[in-house]
Amino acid sequence: MSDNVKLETVSEPAAGYNDLKFYFSNLNTMFSIRNTLAVDMMTSMPVGSMQRRIHDISSLTKRIYAETTTPTVTNLLEKVEQEAEQNPDNWNEWDQANLREMRRIHSHLAALPPELYIASVQVSNEGRKMHANALKNNSWDDAQPYMEKVVALYRKIAELKQKKFNTRTPYKALLLGYASDISEAQMDELYDNLLEPLKKLHAEAIEKQSSQDAPEELNGDFTKADQMWLNETILKMMGFDFERGGLYVSNLSPMTGSAPEDTRVLVRCGDSDTFLDSMSDTLYQGARGLYYQNLPDSWKTQPVGQDQGALMMNSLSVLYETIIGRTPQFFDFISIRAEGVFRQFKNKSFDPENLYRLKKVINKTNNRNDADELSKIFHDILRYRIERDLINGKIEVKDVPARWNKESAELLGSEPKTLAEGPLQNPDWFTGRFGFIPTNTLSHIIAAQIHETLYSAFPDMADKVREGNLEPINEWIKENIHALGRKEDTLAMLEQITGKKLSTDGLLKHLERRYLSDKR
């Protein structure tokens, strides 16, 4: 795009607004291309071509930065905002929200000088390789020099964003990128309110579990083709539009990408896996696919027409996979279909009750990926406390293993035996993904709160799930969340649709029902 572009504008609330829409429409196109490149890399790229594709994605990301922060866009945005402030009656709610989102995107990119933004892109790309090397050697000495470089970079980024957005701490400035409408203090308070009730609930659930026979391990012949047939059935039940999307096996990690007109759901699926693993990916990623497909069509090229971001996206994934997708009623529906596709008739491990109990076994583990729904929250508190203090300068990289062991002993009841079970178990810090981890718990809280509201709207919801009829639920979510794009902030939208502010009450009730009473 040239800095000298002049477009004829018609029917606009302020002179220059249509020009801004043109710029951000082109930006949306670049995001879409980047997503398509990433999806292709995850599904069909030869291993030897990965570095080239990462280079291409990096180049496009840098281009996005350059185009968004060009003086023409910067000056035009300021001009239109001034006119909007002087003539508010000319603006409807959607255009106001669109202008607000334009500013949000521009502010987050313009907060960083080009050299820092490029450095963050490089870290994002090379971090997984560095993490893999440290994990292979099981050595913090190998990890520490690189981690010190990343932490120094993100402390600088956080410092600049703190000044730009006037946040109380540097860490909150990074949290803005994932959960913009919650403060670090609120996050601390939520975890403080959860911790003691969760410890009590966890102890009671362990005691109950120990008094019961263990569920039977799932056994059978789970070919990839059969698993993917079942996964496609689940996506259809969820209301996924296969004329505008598809289901694919990922060579790397599960993800959902591309655009509303081309939505790719990528799941992990291997012949040696049980169908429960790829089914979980399908529910989780399928919820994201539905979000993309049901965004407001008339605003699809504009910032206001995009999804809410990590917090609401993850919340809907948790709602479908972790809450609805692990109920006894869901397994009543799935069991008979799984028996048929895998030819496991009279196989007791396929009984609905057994499948339900398999998905809620509490397993004490130091690895978050292997943890159950309840225990994952303790893992998230552990990681949140460390990365918060790391970015805020209260601890240094060299202190991380000892701090991890201390938090692990307190929250999980044991210390990791290896670094792979400790601070090396996840690549997020190596890729600069500071601020993301709290969204796991926030999403769990939001999902449970939405679930309570759905039960009020549909008192026969359990019967609908047992029948595999998710259409009323899907339509409610589409109308109240998907179709609103970014018209409202996440927590404002949550209060609007549930009638309550963000609260841990719904999550605690859900976990108590699941682990102590077996209801819903």
Q: Write phi, then psi, for 128 (nearest 5 degrees).
A: -65, -40
Asked whether residue 238 is assigned to any structural domain, the reply reads no
Identify whether the C-beta of residue 203 lies closer than 8 Å to the C-beta of residue 239: no
Asked whether residue 364 is assigned to any structural domain, the reply reads no
pLDDT at 9 over 70: no
Percent of the chain with pLDDT over 90: 77
Whole-structure pTM value: 0.93
pLDDT at 514 over 80: yes
CA terminus-to-terminus distance, the chain: 54
Percent of the chain with pLDDT over 70: 97
Q: Which is more confident, 491 or 50?
A: 491
| Cα separations in angstroms, 51 against 39, 58, 122, 464, 467 | 15, 10, 12, 47, 46
Domain residues for the domain of 92 are 17-166
pLDDT at 231 over 50: yes
Q: Which pLDDT score, from 0 to 100, does residue 348 have? A: 94
Distance CA(122)–CA(346), nearest Å, equals: 53
Asked whether residue 325 is assigned to any structural domain, the reply reads no
User: Of the ranges 53-57, 76-80, 423-427, which one carries the lowest mean pLDDT score?
Assistant: 53-57
What is the band of 424 on the pLDDT scale with cuts at 50, 70, 90?
A: very high
Q: Which pLDDT score, from 0 to 100, does residue 11 have? A: 67
> In the sheet where 262-267 sits, what is the strand order?
245-249, 262-267, 255-259
Asked whether residue 432 is assigned to any structural domain, the reply reads no
For the segment 212-229, the average pLDDT, to the nearest whole number, is 94
According to DSSP, the residues that pair with 266 across neighbouring strands are 248, 255
User: Of the ranges 6-20, 138-152, 495-509, which one carries the lowest mean pLDDT score?
Assistant: 6-20
For the segment 46-72, the average pLDDT, to the nearest whole number, is 86
Asked whether residue 451 is assigned to any structural domain, the reply reads no
Q: Which pLDDT score, from 0 to 100, does residue 516 have? A: 93
pLDDT at 121 over 50: yes
For the segment 388-405, the average pLDDT, to the nearest whole number, is 97
Distance CA(503)–CA(325), nearest Å, equals: 22
What is the count of structural domains for the chain? Answer: 1
Asked whether residue 182 is assigned to any structural domain, the reply reads no
